[in-house]
Amino acid sequence: MTRIAFIGLGVMGGPIARHLKQAGHDLTVYNRSRAKAEAWVAAYGGTLATSPAEAARESEVVISCVGTDDDLSGVTLGRDGAFAAMAKGSLYIDHTTVSARIARQLGVEAKSRGLLVVDAPLTGGQIGAENGTLSIMCGGSEASMDAARPIMEPYSKRIVHVGGPGTGQTTKMCNQIAFAGVIQSLSEALRFAQSAELDVAKVYEAISGGAAQSWQMDNRWATMAEEKFDFGFAVDWMRKDLGLAFEEARALGATLPITALIDQFYADVQQMGGGRLDTSAIVKRLPKG
């Protein structure tokens, strides 16, 4: 049993914290919305904290899953942040998708305080969090990873140590760049099939066993055809993630022309009022023919 502080009980953090509690760990939880933390404790047990620092003070491991760079900076380095309350040698795992810049900054801050830190963004979505089948891409030292791996195992199916601090976040950017291209091309294929008045279920059966197959095809083709978008990863969050990729690309001197175009397509979906819809709602901007 490990004493774990968990910060951020949203659609990803809540289920992850549940898996940790069910694995036998002693959890103290904090959420900016206190009602959500109270509901989690009522459902699963554990201790409720009033600040990140309070949650972290007696914990061996602190895990965060928040929203943005500013949120992460606040819960780590801000007033009542976790870092100042953590004992030397303890571990911080961050599952937020944020910039590589802040991940590297936290790596430096953690080293100066004698802490271990891993930037560990996730892929697999809410379903993966609920089922404990997330894939985790990690940046940090070997010592940090040795400490973090057994903590993350109850809610993951794949854990990959990519490199030093910030490399987990940069790898997540690669994931989102590839993801954007796949979902756009899938949207075009679906609309093409509909324009040709094909049976889209038969089209899926025919093409999903070959080179065109993808997770998006297996999980979103049918729902896109049915115009169902009220689940999964929101367009607003996708645009946030792509913005992080563009920021890092500028720093690296890399170019992302197709990703930039698809980002503008997502801006169109936002203008249509679809910012909170699943990313597969990108198909809505294409005419059915």
CB atoms within 10 A of CB 35: 8
Distance set, CA 190 to CA 178, 193, 265 (Å): 19, 5, 16
Question: Distance of CA 218 to CAs 3, 5, 39, 245, Å?
Answer: 39, 36, 34, 26
Q: How many H-runs (helices) and E-runs (strands) does the chain carry?
A: 12, 9
Q: Is 172 a catalytic site residue?
A: yes
Tokens at 192, concatenated: 């093409």
Q: Are strands 134-139 and 122-123 parallel, antiparallel or unpaired?
A: antiparallel
Which of the residues 36, 88, 172, 228 is marked catalytic?
172
Distance CA 134, CA 122 (A): 6
Geometric angle at alpha carbon 232, from 212 and 266, rounded to 5°: 75
Beta-carbon contacts of residue 82 (< 8 Å; ≥ 6 apart) = 5, 7, 52, 53, 55, 56, 62, 64, 75, 76, 92
The DSSP code sequence of 70-137 is HHHHHHHHSTT-SGGGSPTT-EEEE-S---HHHHHHHHHHHHHHT-EEEE--EESHHHHHHHT-EEEE
CA dihedral (238, 164, 146, 91) positive or negative: negative
Query: Residue 269: enclosing H or E segment and its boundaries?
Result: helix 257-271
Integer CA distances (angstroms), 260 to 2, 188, 234, 235, in order? 43, 17, 18, 15
Judged by DSSP in three states, 274 sits in coil
Write out the catalytic residue numbers: 172
